[in-house]
Structure 1
Amino acid sequence: MLHATIERFLPFIRTLDTDQPLTKQDLLTTSLLMECDGDLCMYYAPHNDYINKDASIVIVGITPGWQQMKIAFEQFVKSLSSGDSLETCLKETKHAARFAGAMRKNLQYMLDECGIPNALGIPASANLFGNSRHLLHTTSIIKYPVFINGKNYTGHQPPIRSSAILQHYAWVTFPDELASIQPPTLVIPLGKTAEQIITRLAEEKKLHGHTYLTGLPHPSGANGHRVKQFQQQKRQLQEKIKAWADGRM
């Protein structure tokens, strides 16, 4: 069923001109504003409204950043202008915007090294973003892009627990989304903040039926400790992925 939120923003989205790259002036506008809490503002973006309920792997970030938001709107408008259905537009937008850029390359390397291709019976993790994309769902603890004074929110300042808006998405919207996906699914949080939220949700018994993989560093190039952290966690990640794969057989 089409996510109802998009209907609120469709009239404005149809006015966007993508003959030139979209800018923050185009998208960080009151026409796409969802909620504000002090300097923290959440804007609508269309790439997290599509949920792959049959996914084998779910990869979870904190919140979409500007680059994902920009790519999402450019793809969505392109798909919409081609006459695709809204459901198809959302699906194509999801595929185009998920972990775009260098971050995807770093993520694919770690997933390969951990044994994800063997667990899924695919040649490489890159296939999850190509002809095996039906196996993957990507999402965020905070579903829509959040900015602080126009800059990407990183999950730290303010802490999620200090904002009623962020808490609602982390403690209600996100668990509801995971509950809609058929187990047994391997859920992979990226970085400590996403991992901590998922751990707390599990402790509060708000998550059920999936396997949660902890210890994978955030693949962002800005994470200078990424390589060292990964090498320290690699063995236990491999073991947990193998156990999950064996349990699916």
Structure 2
Amino acid sequence: MQYPLFARFAPIIQSLSSSELQGSGTLYDKLLLERAEKLSVHYVPFEHLNPGARLVIVGITPGKTQLVNAIAELRRQLDAGSSQDVALRAAKATGAFSGAMRPNLISLLNRIGMQRMLGIGSCADLFGSASHLLHSTSALRNPVFVDGANYSGNPKMTRHPLLKKQLLATFGEEAKLLPSAVFVPLGDAVDEALQFLAAAGVIKREQILSGLPHPSGANAERIMYFVGGKAREKLSSKTNADKIERTRDMLCARVTTMSLAV
């Protein structure tokens, strides 16, 4: 497979200094793809696609940490003489919901029965022996920054011309190659983007499994209640137990229906 952006940026990445590989300011200038007003879009080597995936986890966009880690891993692979495909697969794997987000995501997916739909023992296997079933990506695959800070949903990607172009040209094209996969959006902004693509005919609405709590550590209490790790009477006033229960029941029912259809 041809990867035009990889071909363009691989020589640049191979020439980066040690400080740039650690995230110095000039790194972002060298990886710049587009700029519009306060927004900038930068290359990250996340082109690798798993065409056999049955589950697609969709974040909003890679952040600076993911970008730096992926670039450093790609450089290591290139310096070691790895092939294009091996290098891109390794770079993608470095940022696949690492840190505290991964165990939260696994617990959430297991709670709604995703492991049964996929025919595996636990969704932890998606990051090991069953990795062939998972494709992790972002609605905006190449990192977007607003005034140099990580993009978090404003301006809306379905309305801003630059972001809409990125959504359609990167994630939209990926999604077309996964016609039988289930897409799980992480967060309201990503769900809105997937619904936009469904309305445009890029994916089918029934492929979208909306409502899973975001696995961020900032969402810890909601996650704990969703998976059964905290009693209702111990919840803070900020947590809407009824809403969480309704969402959980709906997701469990949908996953059961999907399992029966497989």
Structure 1 residues 65, 83: CA separation in 2 closer, same or farther (over 3 Å shift)? same
Q: Does the Cα contact within 8 Å between 2:21 and 2:27 map onto a contact in 1?
A: no
1:221 corresponds to = 217
- Would the aligned equivalents of 2:62 and 2:143 in 1 still touch at CA under 8 Å? yes
Root-mean-square deviation (CA, aligned residues, Å) is 2.1
Q: What amino acid is aligned across from residue 110 of structure 2 in structure 1? A: D
Q: Identity over the aligned pairs, expressed in percent?
A: 34
Structure 2 counterpart SS, 1:97:
coil
Q: Does the 8 Å CA contact 2:41/2:143 hold for their aligned counterparts?
A: yes
Match of 1:103 in 2: 101
SS in structure 2 of the partner of residue 34 of structure 1:
strand
Select the residue among 171, 176, 179 that pairs with 2:176: 179
Retained in 2: the 8 A contact 1:185–1:210? no
Give the Cα–Cα distance (whole angstroms) in 2 for the partners of residues 18 and 242 of structure 1: 50
Q: Mind listing any 5+ residue stretches in structure 2 that lack a counterpart?
A: 224-238
Which residue of 227, 243, 247 maps to 2:257? 243
Tell me if the contact between 2:33 and 2:42 (Cα under 8 Å) persists in the aligned partners.
Answer: yes
Determine helix, strand or coil for the equivalent of 1:222: helix
Partners in 2 of 1:5 and 1:64 — Cα distance? 16
Contact 2:158 2:193 in 1 (8 A): no
Cα offset for 1:197? 1.5
Superposed, 1:5-84 pairs within 5 Å as 5-17=5-17, 22-25=22-25, 27-28=27-28, 30-46=29-45, 48-84=46-82
Question: Do the aligned partners of residues 210 and 235 (structure 1) sit closer, same or farther apart at CA in structure 2, a change above 3 Å counting?
Answer: closer
Q: Find the residue that maps to 2:184 and give its secondary structure.
A: strand
Report the AA paired with residue 210 of structure 2: T
Picking from 194, 200, 205, the partner of 1:198 is 194
* Cα distance in 2 for residues equivalent to 1:16 and 1:92: 19
2:54–2:181 Cα contact (<8 Å) kept: yes
Cα pair 1:75 1:96 within 8 Å, conserved: yes
The answer to whether the aligner puts 1:189 opposite 2:185 as a matched pair is yes
Closer, same or farther in 2 for the Cα pair 1:71/1:210, shift >3 Å? farther
Q: Is the 8 A contact 2:104 2:215 kept in 1?
A: yes
The question of whether the paired residues in 2 share the 8 Å contact of 1:218 and 1:226 is answered with no
TM-score, normalised by the number of residues in structure 2: 0.85
1:159 paired with 2:156, answer yes
Inter-partner Cα distance in structure 1 for 2:181 and 2:260: 13
Aligned match for 1:136, one of 114, 134, 137: 134
Instruction: After TM superposition, give the deviation of residue 191 of structure 1 in Å.
Output: 0.9
**Is this contact kept in 2: 1:216–1:230, CA < 8 A?**
no
State the TM-score, normalized to the length of structure 1: 0.90
Separation in 2, partners of 1:176, 1:230: 33
Tell me if 1:88 matches 2:86. yes
CA distance in 2, matches of 1:147, 1:126: 31
Distance verdict in 2 for CA 1:19–1:230, change over 3 Å: farther
Larger radius of gyration: 2
Distance (whole Å) between structure 2 residues aligned to residue 17 and residue 81 of structure 1: 13
Asked if structure 2 preserves the Cα contact closer than 8 Å seen for 1:65 and 1:145, the reply is yes
Aligned equivalents of 2:14, 2:215: Cα separation in 1: 34
Query: In structure 1, what residue type is equivalent to 2:168?
Result: W
> Cα deviations across residues 175-208 of structure 1 (Å, max 9, x unaligned)?
2211112x42111111111111211222332324
| Aligned-partner Cα distance in 1 for 2:198–2:158 | 16
